[in-house]
């Protein structure tokens, strides 16, 4: 645990990445697996994660992120896109996955399936999309923590135009929405932010024990 806390103190929202340094395939695969294993409500994983490496595409995204250089200078750009079409078919696919993975007949999962369908069907589109978008932040948190353990820098970002991202990436045709993004790579030696002391509320002002 002490190592984990050291990693959390080490990490910060990187302002300037070293564009010459790239994440190894091994480390990238580790981060992908961490994100894949992240918890989500019911285990539905109502989102996809798009990893953008293409330089030309990232230049377009940079313009839609108000010119922030992390978009183009980081080794990789993770885009967490929530599902806008979560429905009974999504539940059916998940139930099938459970059945095949655990060797359980789908009939035995009927109650679980009905419960999920009942919850989803009673949500308005706005509420459903807000719910799926929130799930992406759980995976984002896991990515940040795991990257810090690997001494890989990250910048979680909400400062971008989702509609523009959706258009550039063709998300509209896929029923997806760019909810939150994370640039990952290695800090530039000239990034002054790495020397700032971490500012957080003290425990006595932050936690309430009842």
Going along the chain, which residue ranges are E strands?
A: 47-52, 76-83, 153-157, 176-185
- pLDDT tens digits, 172-204: 999 999 999 999 999 999 999 999 999 999 999
Q: Is the pTM of this model over 0.85?
A: yes
Closest CA to 40 of 202, 179, 200: 179
Tell me how far apart the alpha carbons of residues 140 and 202 are, in angstroms, rounded to a whole number: 24
Q: What is the pLDDT of residues 106-158, one digit of tens each?
A: 999 999 999 999 999 999 999 999 999 999 999 999 999 999 999 999 999 99
Pull the structure tokens for residue 162. Answer: 């989702």
Asked if CATH classification 3.10.300.10 holds for the domain at 2-88+124-206, the reply, yes or no, is: no
Cα 14 to Cα 17, 37, 157: the distances in Å are 7, 25, 11
Strand partners, 183: 77, 155
Torsion-angle region of 67 (φ positive above 0: left; ψ -120 to 50: alpha; else: beta): left
Which pLDDT tens digit goes with each residue over 37-72?
999 999 999 999 999 999 999 999 999 999 999 999
Kindly list the domain boundaries of the chain, sorted by start residue: 2-88+124-206
Dist CA 23 CA 74 (whole Å): 9
Helices H / strands E in the chain, number of each: 10, 4
The DSSP element (H or E) to which 121 belongs, if any, is helix 110-121
Do the beta carbons of residue 11 and residue 154 sit within 8 Å?
A: yes
């Amino acid at each position: 645990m002490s190592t984990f806390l050291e990693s959390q103190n080490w990490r910060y929202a990187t302002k300037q990445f070293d564009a010459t340094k790239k994440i190894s395939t091994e480390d990238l695969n580790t981060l992908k697996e961490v994100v894949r294993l992240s918890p989500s409500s019911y285990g539905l994983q109502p989102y996809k994660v798009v990893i953008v490496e293409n330089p030309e595409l990232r230049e377009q995204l940079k313009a839609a992120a108000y010119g922030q250089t992390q978009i183009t200078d980081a080794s990789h750009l993770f885009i967490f896109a929530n599902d806008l079409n979560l429905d009974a078919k999504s539940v059916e696919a998940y139930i099938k996955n459970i059945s095949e993975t655990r060797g359980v007949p789908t009939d035995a999962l009927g109650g679980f399936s009905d419960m999920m369908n009942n919850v989803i069907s009673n949500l308005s589109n706005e509420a459903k999309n807000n719910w799926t978008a929130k799930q992406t932040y759980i995976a984002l948190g896991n990515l940040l923590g795991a990257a810090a353990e690997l001494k890989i820098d990250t910048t979680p970002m909400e400062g971008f135009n989702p509609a523009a991202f959706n258009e550039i990436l063709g998300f509209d045709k896929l029923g997806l929405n760019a909810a939150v993004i994370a640039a990952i790579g290695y800090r530039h030696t000239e990034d002054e932010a790495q020397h700032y002391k971490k500012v957080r509320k003290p425990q006595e002002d932050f936690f309430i024990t009842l």
